[in-house]
Amino acid sequence: MTPTFVRACALDELEDDTPKRVELEGVPVALVRTEGEVFAVSDICSHANVSLSEGEVEDCQIECWLHGSSFDLRTGKPSGLPATRPVPVYPVKIEGDDVLVSVTQES
């Protein structure tokens, strides 16, 4: 299945290391600009049904504010308990000033 990219936001709407929540085709997504790249992961923690975009970003990880699990923004894999399952990671493209994300194909 070929990924379908949709506009998530303007690139200048993303502050470094500050997650931004967007909803794309009914899917809650946390966008993060860090280390010169933009990442998109599910905005829902795999351990508890809370928004990851309310957490902190450090070293290409996003931390769930409720129980402290961190997830790698590149792979979605948790780096510590209590989370044991990864969160979905979505492909991102930058076109001009727009951030495009595909929620149709998880990587």
Domain extent listing, the chain: 14-89
pTM of this prediction?
0.93
User: pLDDT confidence of 105, banded at 50, 70, 90?
Assistant: low
d(CA 20, CA 39): 11
At residue 107, does pLDDT exceed 80?
Answer: no
Looking at residue 70, its pLDDT comes to 96
Average pLDDT score over residue span 5-32: 97
At residue 96, does pLDDT exceed 70?
Answer: yes
Tell which residue, 103, 104, 84, has the closest CA to residue 41.
103
Peptide bond into 82 cis (omega under 30): yes
What CATH number should be reported for the domain whose range is 14-89? Answer: 2.102.10.10
Looking at residue 32, its pLDDT comes to 98
